[in-house]
Each structure stands twice: as C-alpha cells, then as structure tokens.
Amino acid sequence: MPQYLVAGYLPDDFDPSTVDEATVREIHALTKEMIAAGVRKFAGGLGPAKSLRGQPDGGVLVTDGPYLETKEHIGGLWILECADLDEALAWARKGVAATRSQVEVREIFFNPAPE
C-alpha cells in the first residue's frame, strides 16, 4: 500500500501560544482515529528549522530558518498508509478541520530498508 506525507502548514509568524485546547484535543483525536483505522505510520509536530547549504569551497553553511523563503512552513506531519490518493485526501480533509491549517499531501516513493 502506498504511503503519503500529510503535512500541515503554518504561517511564518505563527505563535504557538495561540493554539487553544480544543485544537490540540482534535489533533490528538484525529491521530487516534488514524491509529485505530490502521493507517497511521507516524505523526509528529516539528520544531524550528535549521538550514544547511553547501558552499562553493566545499563547506556547509548552517543558518536558522527554513531553506526556502516562504510565508509558511511545515508545522507537523502525518505519514499515512492508504489504499490510494483519494483516501489520503479524505484523511487530509479531516486534518484541515483538526489543525485549522493548510495541508499538503504527497505520495512517498518508498525506499527499501537497508539490507
């Protein structure tokens, strides 16, 4: 069965202290529902990003913030195993309602585990 990244996007000026209890509860409830449905592979929220850039001299430059200059960044993600994209989208739809954020769905082209 294919796996999908379902990622929630937050605005760059997002203030975590504005998240109300109901949102947290709904996100947890949704994750539990995914677990019970046997689709959840992984779920987690993300901390602030550090970006690493290769330099012409061969070094690596580490900076604060996401690699791309955007107005949003990924705040959290689910990895779901679903029958097809439609089903992943149906879960993502619930994700929009629970997280009150924009959600992106991408299929993961899975790499085999190391021998």
Partner 1 sequence: MSEVHKTIEAVWRIESTRLIAAIARVTHDVGIAEELAQDALVKALEVWPEEGIPEKPGAWLMKAATRRAIDSLRRGRMLVKKHEELARELEVEQERLGEALQLSLEQVIDDDVLRLIFTACHPVLAVEGRIALTLRLIGGLTTTEIARAFLVPEKTLGQRISRAKKTLSEAHVPFETPAGDELRQRVESVLLVVYLIFNEGYTATSGEEWMRAALSDEALRLGRMLAQLLPGESEVQALVSLMELQSSRSAARRGKDGEAVLFPDQDRSLWDAAQIQRGMVALERAQRLGGGAKPYALQAAIAACHMRARTAEETDWDRIVLLYDALLQINPSPIVALNRAVAVGMAQGPAAGLDAVDAAAAGFTALAGYHLFPSVRGDLLMKLGRLSEAREEVQRAIAMTKNLREQELLASRLKQLEQRDNGGA
Selected from 17, 36, 64, 109, the binder of partner 1 by CB under 8 A is: 36
- The answer to the question of residue 106 lying near partner 1 (CB under 8 A) is no
> Crossing angle of helices 21-36/85-99, nearest 10°?
160
User: How many other C-beta atoms lie within 10 A of the C-beta of residue 72?
Assistant: 16
SS3 readout for 47-112: CCCEEEEECCCCCEEEEECCCCCCCEEEEEEEEEECCCHHHHHHHHHHHHHHHCCEEEEEEECCCC
Selected from 32, 50, 53, 106, the binder of partner 1 by CB under 8 A is: 32
- The answer to the question of residue 90 lying near partner 1 (CB under 8 A) is yes
Instruction: Determine the interface stretch with partner 1 among 17-25, 37-45, 51-59, 60-68 (rule: CB under 8 A).
Output: 37-45
Selected from 1, 22, 24, 49, the binder of partner 1 by CB under 8 A is: 1
List of residues contacting partner 1 (CB under 8 A):
1, 32-33, 35-39, 83-84, 86-87, 89-91, 93-94, 96-97, 110-115
